[in-house]
């Protein structure tokens, strides 16, 4: 059965025609089960045989007629079922002639083009293609399908009557039969939602790449700045260490110079707690320096308040017993 340009295999394997031998056997049995008066026998063997043959043929015709009625009913039921499957399928189906003129489509195909089925029939499909490149792709697609006699795919952009763009994918195959024109069967899938998801995914990927690149640049800059700060801090620490060493060296030098100067002052102008530079004091310093290293008793003479205790401490601090207590 042909439906909208589609060749449908209906009734295969169901309600096959009964063979003549089977019909003959069924007719003989039915005739034998009829009442004797229905047979109306007549004299003569030949006449009787011919009458029997006519009755059997009549029953065969009745049985064939009943069988044809059942087959016809099954065909109408199958036709209705396949027509509903075709018309209300969720995928758009189109039938094209070799030049791309629409021969038929289902409801989904009309919805895809934002129009009615009656307005689509016998219109060039190229009228609904959005751009010249897509029309060229569609024309080449039909030619290759007819030439190669195999199922092929292509992607084009359609524009409906309301101007809405549809990113469609076609899958087509050519039907060739003897003494029949060539036509192309195509299924069309709307990939607009998938295309939108792919574009959003690509945009998200590009945004992520830009964010990663910007963040990487920021981290690289921060890392470089941190390295610079570390280097500067290291240089500062080295400078501080050098300054500390220099200060320590200067401190040691100052301490040495201080000791040296104190020794010079002590040597020139004082002796312990005694400070002065007069000739009598210098004479006393000289005597202290002479008797201090000696292991001998020293007698200090003088009136009260003249500093005999001070001189005694000076002798003690310069003697070998300076680590021991001085008992006055």
Q: Residue 328 above 80 pLDDT?
A: no
pLDDT of residue 137: 95
11 by Cβ neighbours in 10 Å (0-12 / 13-18 / 19+) ranks as middle
pLDDT, average across residues 128-146: 93
The residues near 154 (Cβ < 8 Å, ≥ 6 apart) are 137, 138, 141, 169, 170, 172
pLDDT of residue 136: 94
Q: How confident is the model at residue 297 (pLDDT cuts 50, 70, 90)?
A: confident
Least confident range of 84-98, 120-134, 166-180, 200-214: 84-98
Percent of the chain with pLDDT over 70: 78
Cα angle value 65/69/72 (rounded, 5°): 135
Q: What are the angstrom distances between the C-alpha of 18 and each of 10, 21, 23, 26, 72? A: 17, 8, 7, 10, 15
Q: How confident is the model at residue 145 (pLDDT cuts 50, 70, 90)?
A: very high
Map tokens 């009787």 to a residue: 48
Look over the chain and give the mean of its residue pLDDT values, rounded to a whole number: 79
pLDDT in tens, 151-205: 999 999 998 777 788 889 999 999 888 778 889 999 998 887 666 677 788 888 8
What residues are paired with 2 via a beta bridge? 7
The residues near 17 (Cβ < 8 Å, ≥ 6 apart) are 67
Q: Who has greater pLDDT, 325 or 102?
A: 102
* pTM of the model as a whole: 0.43
Q: Where are the beta strands (DSSP E) in 116-248?
A: 152-159, 165-177, 180-190
The residues near 59 (Cβ < 8 Å, ≥ 6 apart) are 26, 27, 30, 31
């Amino acid at each position: 059965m042909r439906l909208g340009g589609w060749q449908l295999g209906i009734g295969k394997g169901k309600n096959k025609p009964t063979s003549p031998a089977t019909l003959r056997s069924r007719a003989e049995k039915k005739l034998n089960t009829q009442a004797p008066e229905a047979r109306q026998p007549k004299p003569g063997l030949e006449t009787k045989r011919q009458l029997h043959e006519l009755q059997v043929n009549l029953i065969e015709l009745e049985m064939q007629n009943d069988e044809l009625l059942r087959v016809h009913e099954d065909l109408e039921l199958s036709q209705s079922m396949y027509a509903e499957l075709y018309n209300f399928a969720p995928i758009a189906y189109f039938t094209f002639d070799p030049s791309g003129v629409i021969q038929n489509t289902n409801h989904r195909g009309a919805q895809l083009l934002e129009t009615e089925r009656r307005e689509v029939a016998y219109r060039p499909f190229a009228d609904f293609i959005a751009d010249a490149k897509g029309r060229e792709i569609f024309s080449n697609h039909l030619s290759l399908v007819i030439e190669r006699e195999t199922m092929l795919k292509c992607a084009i952009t359609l524009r409906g009557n309301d101007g809405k763009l549809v990113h469609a994918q076609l899958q087509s195959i050519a039907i060739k039969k003897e003494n029949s024109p060539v036509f192309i069967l195509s299924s069309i899938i709307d990939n607009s939602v998938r295309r939108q998801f792919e574009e959003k995914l690509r945009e998200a990927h590009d945004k992520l790449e830009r964010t990663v690149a910007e963040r990487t640049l920021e981290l690289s800059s921060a890392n470089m700045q941190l390295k610079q700060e570390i280097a500067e801090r290291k240089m500062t620490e080295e400078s501080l260490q050098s300054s500390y060493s220099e200060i320590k060296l200067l401190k040691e030098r100052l301490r040495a110079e201080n000791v040296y100067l104190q020794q010079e002052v002590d040597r020139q102008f004082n002796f312990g707690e005694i400070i002065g530079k007069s000739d009598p004091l210098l004479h006393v310093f000289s005597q202290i320096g002479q008797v201090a290293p000696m292991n001998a008793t020293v007698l200090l003479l003088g009136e009260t308040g003249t500093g005999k205790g001070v001189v005694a401490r000076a002798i003690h601090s310069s003697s070998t017993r300076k680590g021991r207590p001085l008992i006055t």
